[in-house]
Amino acid sequence: MTDIPPDHPRYFSLMTRHRIVSGVEKGITSQEGLIAQGRGEAFDYLIGEETLPSAHAAEYAASAMILLAKRRIISVNGNAAALVPAELVQLSEITGAPLEVNLFYRTEERVLKIIKHLQAHGAGQVLGAQPDAAIPGLTSKRSNVCHSGIYLAYVVFVPMEDGDRCEALVGMGKQVIAVDLNPLSRTAQQATISIVDNVVRAVPNMVEMVRELKSRDEGYLQGVVMDFDNKKGLADAMDSII
């Protein structure tokens, strides 16, 4: 896979697949994550494998929302860790939002491997190894969270889809930012801000946006968030797919 020439028409897509496969081999990504990746890639084809204007607007509003939050957290699963580890670390550093590993197919071994993987890409402390709180209404292992992290956060950034937890977090009164290539998914429909984009584009975009927005005052950031219409963003994404 790594011998694919950069001028191959499917180079970036194939390299993304390689990262997920490598993640499985390292014990970071679950085998079920391969299915999730394939599903997302199918939707990426439909939007032209580019960041739509509606997604760009969502990423900008999400960046402003993260900066405004007094307590923010970046939730990391196996796919996100395999695809954009360095970018997640960058986003964490420039926003002050801690990273917390949270998994549906959770094992302690996998959590520790993901934490070490993120630290190998520059992360300092990463939460998730010792969850001491539970998300109400969830019975899966994804309910296990850190009290000082996801449980107390006002804004939760979820770089990959996870419909049941997204709904539960919103039910707790949190603002949830989700990246999901399927605008019809429960995640996209329930999130406060839904980014219909590939995570390999969305997170780097947000890193650059946050850098620009950090120089803006609070009033400007509040205006960006207030002006964003999530329902319109989802409708625009659907129009693009159609």
Whether residue 8 is contained in a domain is answered as no
At 142 the pLDDT is: 87
The whole-number average pLDDT for the span 79-89 is 94
Does the residue 23 lie in any domain?
no
Comparing CA positions, the residue from 208, 206, 164 lying closest to residue 187 is 164
In a domain, 4, yes or no: no
Of the chain, the percentage scoring pLDDT greater than 70 comes to: 92
162-190 average pLDDT score: 92
Q: How many domains does the chain have?
A: 1
Distance CA 137, CA 95 (A): 29
- Residue 153: inside a domain: yes
What pLDDT sits at residue 207?
98
**Does residue 32 or residue 66 have the better pLDDT?**
66
1 vs 199, higher pLDDT: 199
pTM comes to 0.91
Q: Within a domain: residue 160?
A: yes
Lowest mean pLDDT among 146-150, 182-186, 210-214: 182-186
Which single residue is written with the structure tokens 């997170």? 203
Mean of the per-residue pLDDT values of the chain: 90
Domain interval for residue 96: 53-241
Domain presence at residue 187? yes
Query: What pLDDT is attached to residue 216?
Result: 97
Q: What is the DSSP string of 18-74?
A: HHHHHHHHHTSS-HHHHHHHHHHHHHHHHTTSS--HHHHHHHHHHHHHHHH-SSEEE
Establish if 85 belongs to a structural domain.
yes
Q: Is residue 31 a part of any domain in this protein?
A: no
pLDDT band at 21 (very low <50, low <70, confident <90, very high): confident
**Domain containing 168 — which CATH number?**
3.40.50.12640
Confidence (pLDDT) at 206 = 98
Which residue has 């395999």 as its token pair? 82
